[in-house]
Amino acid sequence: MPLLAGCALLPGRDPAQAVSVRPGDGQVHPVARPETGGRRPPAGARTADALDTTTEEERQAAAAPAAPGGRDLGVTIAALGDPARPGFWLETPLVATPGTGRVEYQGKTAQVQLIPIEGAATAGSRLSLAAMRLVGAPLAGLPEIRVFAGG
Find the length of the chain. Answer: 151
User: Which DSSP category does 69 fall into?
Assistant: T
Q: Which of 88, 83, 90, 98 minimizes the C-alpha distance to 40?
A: 83
Helices (H), 6-151: 48-51, 56-63, 129-135
DSSP-based three-state secondary structure for 67: coil
| pLDDT for 68 | 72
| Whether pLDDT at 22 is above 60 | no
Q: pLDDT (tens digit, 9 = 90+) per residue, 110-121?
A: 999 999 999 998
| pLDDT for 151 | 65
The chain-wide mean pLDDT, for the chain, equals 79
Q: Which residue has the higher pLDDT, 97 or 22?
A: 97
Q: pLDDT (tens digit, 9 = 90+) per residue, 44-103?
A: 767 777 788 788 898 888 888 777 778 999 999 999 999 999 999 999 999 999 999 999
**Phi, psi dihedrals of residue 73, rounded to the nearest 5°:** -90, -15
| pLDDT for 107 | 92
The C-alpha atoms of residue 111 and residue 131 are separated, in whole angstroms, by 8
| Whether pLDDT at 9 is above 80 | no
CATH topology of domain 34-39+50-149: Barwin-like endoglucanases (2.40.40)
- The region, left, alpha or beta by phi > 0 then psi within -120 to 50, assigned to residue 95 is beta
In this structure, the dihedral spanned by the alpha carbons of residues 11, 17, 23 and 25, taken in order and rounded to 10 degrees, is -50
The model's pTM is 0.70
The rounded Cα 62 to chain-centroid distance in angstroms is 13
Q: pLDDT (tens digit, 9 = 90+) per residue, 26-37?
A: 555 444 444 445
- What value does the mean pLDDT take over residues 15-19? 42
Domain layout of the chain by residue ranges: 1-33, 34-39+50-149
Between strands 99-105 and 17-21, the pairing is unpaired
